[in-house]
Chain A
Amino acid sequence: MHMSDGLLNAGTSVLFGAVAVIGVAVAMAGSRRDLDDRTAPLAGLVAAFVFAAQMLNFPVLPGVSGHLLGGALAAILVGPWVGALCVTIVLVIQSLLFADGGLTALGANVTNMALIGTVVGYVVAVALRGLARRSRAGLVGVAFVAAFVNTVVASAGFVLEFAIGGDAGGVSFGGVAGTVLGVHCLIGIGEGVITALTVGAVASVRPDLVYLLRGNEKPLEIREGARHE
């Protein structure tokens, strides 16, 4: 999923670089509500978590493994703004420090994985929030759907960028789109299962940490009747 240099031409790279800068600026403005300069350490640890979680490989088929993208996971756990910001920072650091993902493709990578992925995952999760609040099984199901849609739509972002500025050497657009989307449907199932079980595990220990469930706490109820007169 981390695009390398040369997949997109220079013009398209610049275009999506601009899209990424605008998107990240919006995410920063939005995250001011959840985060200020002094709570940044918490976001740093969340980013470290996304980084570490991306290093865990999971088996998809014998011999084929995928790794977590983490967009929907971050959006459900810490909200879309901080989530997008954390995934962006992970991508920038991977590109500058680990040569993972090309420097000129950074804009497109941020657009796909940090912006589209997180926002789409969150929108799906919010649309199904009623279900998520009803029961643990509902929450797990919503997390699965959000992560699956996140992965497939993020890969559709790649297909779009490749169609605008890629050089497929005469391979038909439908062929590229079909292959990429097909593979990412498989990866999306893995992403969905991990995201769902992870969110379920967090919700059973610290439900207050699940951003999607905010506002779900029952107010403290003081009952009359057991009072000694």
Chain B
Amino acid sequence: MSAHALHRPGDTSAHLLAPQIKIVSTFLFVVCVVATPRTEFAAFGAYLVVLTGVWVIARIPPRWLAPRALIEVPFVALAVLLPFVGGGTRTDMLGVSVSVDGALAGWNIVAKGTLGVLASLTLAATTSPSEILLGLQRLRVPKLIITVATLMLRYVELIAAEARRMRLARIARGHDPRFLWQVGATARGIGTLFVRTYERGERVHLAMLSRGWTGAMPEPNPPRVSTVDWLAGLVPAGLAAAMLVGALWAG
């Protein structure tokens, strides 16, 4: 897993929008999705249309999104079970007895989970990791958290590559674990990885201090973000909110 795995560089207006606007907009959009009553099927369709509109603007093809949305599969498995084990009124669907309440609960998880993952993927595709951190910084997230997260992202690929090399070395020596009691070598590897990581941290820390680190990443020339940008960026969230209000009003 690379830290840039989900970013699709581009120069569309969705990519160029200030990151803090995109974070706020995505978050509000997902809140609207989650707040929608589960039987408002039309509203869920409308949310998908809004997302599709963003994908057209950002030029993200659906076949890029589909395999990456599979990350939510474990929860879909839970949702698929619910119609069969749920209680309450039962009905026949294709000759199988399913619980109405269970089916609706399963649908609720699948629909909201999928829309949530697609919204997060849209944010990650149009915004590079460093831009997301910049956005969080401009949203007044504490400095300590930003610094820790920045360094984490900067070094995670290095650490992961080291873990991969250690795993490859184990396999090359005939390591082939299948059961939990064979986990010893892996665990000792993790221990070694911690010691190496920590010692690297000590070196990085000293190197940064010697280059004048004062505790914050300087942001040269922060660009001014206009109200128009905010309004444009919040359009998807605004549409979602309008649909939510409409659905609640009608229901």
Contacts and interface: CB of A to CB of B under 8 A. Distances in A.
B197 A168 contact: no
A19 B5 CA distance: 31
Interface string B201-228: 1101100110001111000000000000
A56 interface: yes
Of the listed residues A49, A53, A172, the one surrounded by the most CB atoms of chain B closer than 10 A to its CB is A49
A171 interface: yes
Q: From DSSP, what is the main secondary structure of chain A's interface residues? A: helix
Which 10 residue pairs are nearest across A and B when measured between Cβ atoms? Answer: A201-B191, A6-B112, A44-B151, A169-B105, A37-B215, A5-B116, A170-B87, A197-B187, A45-B201, A169-B102
Interface string A25-64: 0001001000111111111111111011101101111100
B87 A13 contact: no
B245 interface: no
Interface stretch (B51-59, B139-147, B229-237): B139-147
B198 interface: yes
11 contacts: A4-B109, A5-B113, A7-B75, A37-B143, A40-B148, A40-B151, A41-B205, A51-B156, A85-B144, A104-B31, A197-B184
Contacts of B111: 6
A89 B68 contact: no
B201 A37 contact: no
Contacts, number: 286
Nearest to A189: B180
Interface residues of A, number: 77
Nearest to A199: B191
Of the listed residues B5, B71, B191, B197, the one surrounded by the most CB atoms of chain A closer than 10 A to its CB is B191
Of the listed residues B34, B142, B205, the one surrounded by the most CB atoms of chain A closer than 10 A to its CB is B34
Contact of A99 (B75, B112, B120, B142): B120
A28 B145 contact: yes
Interface string A94-118: 0111111011110000000000000
Interface stretch (A128-136, A148-156, A202-210, A220-228): A202-210
Nearest to B87: A170
Interface string B74-106: 010000001101111000000000010111111
Contacts of A194: 183, 186-187, 190
Contacts of A10: 31, 34-35
B148 A85 contact: yes
Given A7-B109, A45-B201, A169-B103, A59 B152 contact: no
A137 to B, nearest CB: 15
A45 B153 contact: no
Of the listed residues A3, A105, A198, the one surrounded by the most CB atoms of chain B closer than 10 A to its CB is A198
B113 A6 contact: yes
Interface of A: 3-10, 13, 24, 28, 31, 35-49, 51-53, 55-56, 58-62, 68, 77, 85-86, 88-90, 92-93, 95-100, 102-105, 167-172, 175, 189-190, 193-194, 196-202, 205-206, 209
A89 B194 contact: no
B152 A93 contact: yes
Contact of A190 (B27, B121, B143, B183): B183
Given A48-B159, A169-B82, A206-B195, A198 B148 contact: no
Of the listed residues A42, A43, A45, A97, the one surrounded by the most CB atoms of chain B closer than 10 A to its CB is A45
A47 B193 CA distance: 13
Contacts of B213: 38, 41
B187 A201 contact: yes
B198 A40 contact: no
A207 to B, nearest CB: 11
A170 B89 CA distance: 10
B30 A102 contact: yes
A52 B159 contact: yes
Contact of B163 (A55, A100, A168, A171): A55
A170 B105 CA distance: 9
B95 to A, nearest CB: 21
B49 interface: no
B34 A6 contact: yes
